[in-house]
Chains A and B, each alone.
Chain A
Amino acid sequence: MPKKTPQDGPEGVEFTRNRLEVLIQALAYAAIDDFDYCMSLMRGDAEGDSFARLEMEFTDFLGKLVGAKTALNEALVRAEESNRELEAKLETIERQQAAIRELSTPIIEVWAGVLCLPVVGIVDSQRSAEMTETLLETIVAKQARTAIVDITGIEAMDTKTADHFIKMAKAVRLLGADCILSGINPSIAQTLTHIGVDLTGIRTLRNLRDALQFFLREQAASHLVKLQPLVESAQA
């Protein structure tokens, strides 16, 4: 360690140059993140001269740098931890979404050839597409002639959701089955009127009970119609 006593004259210059070299060395070590060795180089008795001021400021600055770095590292560790927590939460949400999808489309055969799809909760594009697909496939599989879509469990509907249901009903009709929409509440009724949907061919009834009664009455009536020709020919 060079003597830190300043002198005038050529030895003074030589002395200052030594201290300068120490400073440069310290900077070099700081640059490669070896703060410990860097700090140890700067330790020494403080002098009163003007160069000592540079040494002091540098040591001060170094201390702050080390402090900042430590704080940054701690912050990074915390950030990584909360990132991991968030990812775990996202995974949970995904698993729950899958479970909800599994539960969300029960299709119940309430009578021979009559299917009922009770809709509860939020219906977005993906869910309505899945529900429609499942309903159509079940209609074909069971050759069900009537599908009752009950929306008692839906509080309110916007234009997009209403559109999904209209498409669902139209797809059912396209297959050749009847579609009954039941359980429309006042708010949804107003929405449907307001957006002016075309519900031709889609019967709307108050509730599942009315829908079933309607279906049974139609059944009885069509049996009567079939009997008509026999009756007429008997009377002739």
Chain B
Amino acid sequence: MKRSTVATTGSDGRSRTSDQNLAIIQIRNCLLVSIQTELHDQLALDLQESLMERVRSADARGVILDVSAVEVIDSYITRILNDIGKSVRFMGAECYIVGIRPAVAMTLIEMGVELDSVNTALNLDLALERLELFQ
């Protein structure tokens, strides 16, 4: 059963999906998503859908995913993240992932999994800096 993830835009420019764990915030022409819980499969798919729609409606040039609260990223989630990166790129934007935990990074490298369609940055500030350079 597909979960509905209709995004509504508030007057503060904030967009909320029906799932409170996926608040998408707009900063200038960048979208910031802070993932507060474990990124299970369905959540990741919902995220992908909501993001694409939001990138289009906000005419965003950048997408930043904050995964500092995520303790596990498996190969399936990696694939979805790569897909998000590719799709976002097709729409003329760049995707940055910030806040990868050391343990997660080590596991990903051990598994030989590559996050090749997304960029990574240490924090939000740096990601925004790099995105500005794309203007």
Contact = CB atoms under 8 A, between A and B. Distances in A.
A and B held together in a complex: yes
B66 to A, nearest CB: 12
B102 A175 contact: yes
A133 B123 CA distance: 19
> What interface size band does chain B fall in?
20 to 34
A129 B123 CA distance: 24
A143 B123 CA distance: 8
Interface in B36-78: none
Given A133-B102, A176-B100, A145 B109 contact: no
A234 interface: no
B64 to A, nearest CB: 11
Given A174-B115, A175-B100, A176-B100, A133 B122 contact: no
B106 interface: yes
B1 interface: no
Contacts of A145: 122, 126
Interface of A is mostly: helix
Nearest to B104: A174
A114 interface: no
Interface string A108-143: 000000000000000000000100110011011001
Of A129, A132, A140, A174, most buried by chain B (CB within 10 Å of CB) is A174
Interface in A121-179: 129, 132-133, 136-137, 139-140, 143-145, 167, 170-171, 173-177
Contacts, number: 51
A177 B105 contact: no
A136 B122 contact: no
Contact of A167 (B110, B121, B122, B127): B110
Interface string B111-130: 00001000111110011000
Given A133-B106, A136-B105, A174 B122 contact: no
Interface of A: 129, 132-133, 136-137, 139-140, 143-145, 167, 170-171, 173-177, 225
30 contacts: A129-B106, A132-B106, A133-B103, A133-B106, A136-B102, A140-B101, A140-B102, A143-B122, A143-B123, A144-B122, A167-B109, A167-B110, A170-B109, A171-B105, A171-B106, A171-B108, A171-B109, A173-B120, A174-B100, A174-B105, A174-B120, A175-B102, A175-B105, A176-B97, A176-B119, A176-B122, A176-B123, A176-B126, A176-B127, A177-B122
